[in-house]
Amino acid sequence: MKAETEEVLSCLVDGEAVDPDALAAALAQPGGVAMLVDLVRVQRAVADDPARPSAAFYESIRPALAPARRARLFGIRMPAAAAAALALACGLGGV
Amino acid sequence: MELFERFHLPIYRYLLRMTGRGDVAEDLTQEVFLRVVRGADGYQARDHEAGWLFRIARNLLTDWQRRCAREPESPGAGEPAAEPGHDLGISIRQALARLPAEEREAFLLRAIGGFGHEEIAALVASTPAGSRSRIFRARSKLRAVLSPEPFPDT
């Protein structure tokens, strides 16, 4: 299998512009189609990595990101939240 | 935090595959987003969020690698990442771990980060042609996992 064949197919898998004639020649090589399938399999195997952080990671980082959330929440919803709190306080105060 | 939801998995996976350590990848990923929170006000270039985040991740990775080179690791510190997934994926990711770091990184930035050669070149201080070449070599070696021949030592 020529190195140029693999290079053309690698570029194709990368989504790069490929010369159609070079691609046709690469696919016409013995094993050319199988190589293309292999390259796609490799790409997918890495791109579809199922690894995820642990639950402890999320527990640890979410509070650290909370200030940004609070800022957004206060900026948009504070009047409603404040009104609700005030209404609740008044209601409780009347009892 | 929207950036966290969108980018923490690709960044974690990039760091995991570069370090081979789940605990380290978690620590570094956390630090990436803590830095984002601390410096978020100064950030305006919304079109380049991914590049910005991966640059932070890469800087942290480089710092960690330097620390490792200076301080030999204590026995038992950290465990290699567990490998969920089907057999082929596991084999390919194990082969990925044996690639030279520069080839592995370029390939990961393409496959996980979705970056083009220009962006990869900017991130790793190379050229687009250099990025293309590294990815080509990486892909060629990883493909060997699918063939009956043994994976070449690098």
B2-70 belongs to which CATH class?
Answer: mainly alpha
* B109, B123 contact by CB (below 8 A): yes
B87-146 under CATH 1.10.10.10, yes or no = yes
- Are residues B132 and A11, on separate chains, in Cβ contact within 8 Å? yes
In this structure, are A39 and A57 located in the same domain? no
Side chain identity, residue A38: D
pLDDT of residue B38: 81
Q: Which residues of B touch A55 (CB under 8 A)?
A: none
Give yes or no: residues A60 and A92 share one domain: yes
Domain-wise residue ranges, chain B? 2-70, 87-146
Contact present, A43 and B89 (Cβ < 8 Å): no
Domain ranges, residue A89: 53-95
What's the pLDDT score for residue B18? 96
Average pLDDT on B108-118 reads 94
Q: B89-112: per-residue pLDDT in tens? A: 888 888 999 999 999 999 999 999
Give the closest-approach CA distance of B66 to chain A in angstroms: 24
Nearest CA in chain B to A57: B26
The alpha-helical segments, DSSP class H, found in chain B are 2-19, 22-39, 49-70, 87-97, 101-111, 117-124, 128-143
What interface predicted TM-score (ipTM) does this complex get?
0.78
Q: Which two tokens stand for residue A84?
A: 């609700």
Kindly state whether B68 is in contact with chain A, defined as any CB-CB distance less than 8 angstroms: no
Same domain, residue pair A94 and A61: yes
Place of tokens 């978020």: B40
pLDDT digits (tens, 9 = 90+) for A31-45: 999 999 999 999 998
